[in-house]
Structure 1
């Protein structure tokens, strides 16, 4: 164990470790602790070092000691010293990156922004996760704040839900997709929104939605 204090890289590594362990994203922590997103991003990128009051705030948040964030540890010692959360998935689990936010509304730019990882069962055949913003897919039980699991590899199936990028507007959203020849019909699952008719030259299918985790369970 190193006793180097004020080491930005060690701090960044430790923060990221506990974020992964407790399935927390940058947005989660910033919202929960009232920390500016840019400030927190600088910490986990080892650009700056948090003040002692912020270190204590994060330590209390993760229910750990301040030294767990300040000092260098190997993974085995951290795991042996601290009990794992009761809901953590171990041998049959793997991590998926959370790659930002996708719209389930009238169309917004998809934020391609790595926000940490999410631990899922190994049977979930997905490549990454996206957070949902909007209510256009509530008829498919996909709600604002949910996390959807996206597979980049898929065989197109009619009336399934896909992540779609509109190339002309650089917009991305979730839609139930129907194909008719070269035409694609992008259907929301909320009667307050209208379907859009387009073709493959105007959109790109980012991936297929293979699962959803509700924000409130």
Structure 2
């Protein structure tokens, strides 16, 4: 078996999901995987570990090679229905076709009803929520803020959620957006995060040059905030995603 081709893995998972009439979210629920992880497999962004490949193979009742090897080239075969249809006389073919069309219509109506019911069921995910906003502008306190729980219709691997106030991170982040934060004490150059800067909490881009480091706003109307030895500075966490009400 050849391992590591993310696109082949993605195509095979999608093929097997289609055969079972499932979607990625249903697969994630069935195997207790994170939806974002399954979604990354299906979109060829990441490749599952070998233990996850084994679980997938058992779930779909296929061999691991059916997941990791190219299965797109299928041998064309005549279906049993087509074989019988070809043996019928034209009048009987017409009757058979009428019956098949009726069956297809009933099937489509049933699927429509199922989809309508599914659309009404929205799965919610719970997160720790700081109701005091991080600033995309002039700064807000985050320490000693009351923590609540919030439910959102997205599954994100994050430690907590906070709202944004201000416009300094536009056009990517807007006033009122909710951002998902993974706590961290070490972020790389160019990462968007939430930072404690002289006692206030800001959402900014961390820029680390050879000569200096500073917090950068995506909105050019705002000046950079230099990080010096005198600055009371602490990394709160990395922004890993955002949620915006439609």
Query: How does the TM-score come out when normalised to structure 1?
Result: 0.51
Report Cα offsets for 1:94-152 as digits up to 9, x if no partner: 42111121111022223722233233544x2210000111111113x110011000001
What is the deviation of 1:85? 9.0
1:89 alignment partner in structure 2: 123
1:151 alignment partner in structure 2: 182
Cα separation, partners in 2 of 1:147 and 1:87, compared to 1, 3 Å:
farther
Cα RMSD for the two superposed structures: 2.7
Give me the whole-angstrom Cα distance separating, in 1, the residues matched to 2:235 and 2:162: 14
Q: Is structure 2 residue 135 aligned with structure 1 residue 106?
A: no
Structure 1 residues 145-184: aligned runs within 5 Å: 145-153=176-184, 156-166=187-197, 168=198, 170-180=199-209, 183-184=212-213
1:20 alignment partner in structure 2: none
Cα separation, partners in 2 of 1:136 and 1:155, compared to 1, 3 Å:
same
2:162 alignment partner in structure 1: 130
Give me the whole-angstrom Cα distance separating, in 2, the residues matched to 1:120 and 1:180: 38
Cα separation, partners in 2 of 1:98 and 1:105, compared to 1, 3 Å:
same
> Using CA pairs below 8 Å that are at least 6 residues apart, which structure has the higher relative contact order?
1
**Which structure 1 residue ranges, 4+ long, deviate > 4 Å from structure 2?**
none
2:234 alignment partner in structure 1: 204
Query: How does the TM-score come out when normalised to structure 2?
Result: 0.46
Select the structure that is richer in helix: 2
Cα separation, partners in 2 of 1:115 and 1:84, compared to 1, 3 Å:
farther
Q: Is the 8 A contact 2:194 2:201 kept in 1?
A: yes
Matched length: 127
Q: Is the 8 A contact 2:185 2:236 kept in 1?
A: no
- Give unmatched runs, 5+ long, in structure 2: 1-116
Q: Is the 8 A contact 1:98 1:118 kept in 2?
A: no
Q: Is the 8 A contact 1:162 1:174 kept in 2?
A: yes
Q: Is the 8 A contact 2:185 2:235 kept in 1?
A: no
Cα separation, partners in 2 of 1:184 and 1:128, compared to 1, 3 Å:
same
- Give unmatched runs, 5+ long, in structure 1: 1-82
Cα separation, partners in 2 of 1:198 and 1:127, compared to 1, 3 Å:
same
Q: Is the 8 A contact 2:186 2:235 kept in 1?
A: no
Give me the whole-angstrom Cα distance separating, in 2, the residues matched to 1:143 and 1:109: 19
